[in-house]
Amino acid sequence: MGLEKEKEEIIELTEVLEEGPAFAAKKDLGEELPPNPGGKKDPLRPQASSDSLSALPDSSSRILKGAPARETENWAGREGVRLVERLAVDFIPRIVTEKLSSEVAKLKAETDALRARGEAFSRKLEEWFSSEGLKCLEQKAREEIPRVAAAALHPEIEALKKEIEKIQAQGEDLNRRTQSWLENEGKEILEKVARELFPQMAERVLHQEIERLKEESRAAENE
């Protein structure tokens, strides 16, 4: 009931603010006010008799007739503004809440639906991974890892093959050079070294053998 009463006050205030200047203009032109049924007291309708107004000069009559319009404007500039501000503070949040409540509820429902779908998808994904997904991934891994590894290691394997071929070529070249050296300068050098070293080596070996025999002979004599 209080809300309906405040709404009626706003409507009446709006009508007064809208009709006040027009009402004053009509009075300045000498138009008649609409009848006041029941003889109710109205702040916009002066209670003076028509005889008292007709007895006044034209300028005084216009001033008295324009007084209600000025009072309405003054009221609108003072109490009216404060009333409108108070009603705006009271009603605008309510109106906004009423208008947006349905949209907020709709967005909340959509958000809840999306959250529920996301949770359901997560559960299904976990179930799939724990059963078919794991087996499928293992099968894919067995099929793909060798191919991926071969593709990734192919450059390294090719580089190793080239290095091995290079080492083999160097070994073969070294063997050819060694054979050629042995057949020419190497043979002569080895023969010369043998002629120089073999007598010395033979003498040393024989000397050691002779000393060993002497030691054995002395040991036998002592026995």
Q: Read off the pLDDT of residues 1-30 as tens digits, 9 standing for 90 and up.
A: 555 666 666 666 566 555 544 444 444 444
At 12 the pLDDT is 64
What pTM did the predictor assign?
0.27
At 47 the pLDDT is 47
Q: What angle do CA 44, 12, 1 make, to 5 degrees?
A: 135
Residue pointed to by tokens 């405040």 = 6
- The pair of three-digit structure tokens given for residue 180, joined into one six-digit string: 């050629």
pLDDT at 112 over 70: yes
- The pair of three-digit structure tokens given for residue 31, joined into one six-digit string: 């138009």
Average pLDDT over the chain, rounded to an integer: 70
| Phi, psi angle pair for 61, to nearest 5° | -65, -40
CB 87 within 8 A of CB 10: yes
Residue pointed to by tokens 């049924």 = 37
SS3 223: coil
- The pair of three-digit structure tokens given for residue 220, joined into one six-digit string: 């036998």
User: For residues 151 and 149, what is the distance between their CA atoms, to the nearest angstrom?
Assistant: 5
At 173, the amino acid letter reads D
